[in-house]
Amino acid sequence: MSEFNPKIIEGNWHKTPITNESRYVQYLGLDAVTIRNSDNQPFFFLFIDIDTKNSEKLRDALNLCREKRLSVYFYETCKGWHIISPCLLKIRNWTYCLMKLRKIQDSSGDTIRWTMRKCDGKMLHYQSWNRVKRPYEESYDLIFALHEKFNCDITSDKITNCVSTKLEWNSYNQMRLNLSVHH
């Protein structure tokens, strides 16, 4: 049963959704903080989690990435879109972007869900605005992980100015509710 389609149960004349079952689902997440392997210097990845299919919100988020000259990978999720930048951002750039994204995303941007759901899109989109005089370094490890996740080849034209970084993984629980409607 889909968690968005409530089951009908007799006895509630107002057809008010009620929770008849809650459970926790464990997910694997990728943390935004990373360390460049060559010198242990800390950086951050920009993760954008848009919980709506509204194309204007997706466009606003991509425009911010374009303004900041970032490479991005993005894909559709059950509720909206995930945008992931492999660019290594210093704390000031990262917090600036998160402040600009407050209107678009509800999450803090410190972790992105990595575990795929059945309803997530299977197509990985790519856009690079990281082609300027002094481009950002990009994490080869994150690019490789994304291409593995979506089972696509890494093409050489996408791999420029890459460095090896450490990826920080975590597991977390998220509550899922099965709703019922009494009538």
Supply the DSSP string of 25-70, one letter for each residue: EEEEEEESEEEETTTTEEEEEEEEEE-S--HHHHHHHHHHHHHTT-
Q: Let me know if residue 105 belongs to a domain.
A: yes
Q: Let me know if residue 49 belongs to a domain.
A: yes
**Terminal-residue alpha carbon distance, the chain:** 19
Q: Let me know if residue 14 belongs to a domain.
A: no
Could you give the number of structural domains in the chain?
1
Q: Let me know if residue 135 belongs to a domain.
A: yes
The parent domain of residue 52 ranges over 28-170
Q: What is the pLDDT of residue 24?
A: 87
- Of residues 46, 127, 28, 115, the one with CA closest to residue 77: 115
Q: What is the pLDDT of residue 150?
A: 95
Q: What is the pLDDT of residue 54?
A: 94
Q: Let me know if residue 180 belongs to a domain.
A: no
Q: What is the pLDDT of residue 8?
A: 47
Q: Let me know if residue 73 belongs to a domain.
A: yes
pLDDT single digits (tens) 70-113: 999 999 999 999 999 999 999 999 999 999 999 898 788 899 99
Q: Let me know if residue 154 belongs to a domain.
A: yes
Which residues in the chain show pLDDT less than 50? 1-2, 8-9, 12
Paired strand residues for 18: 180
Q: Let me know if residue 58 belongs to a domain.
A: yes
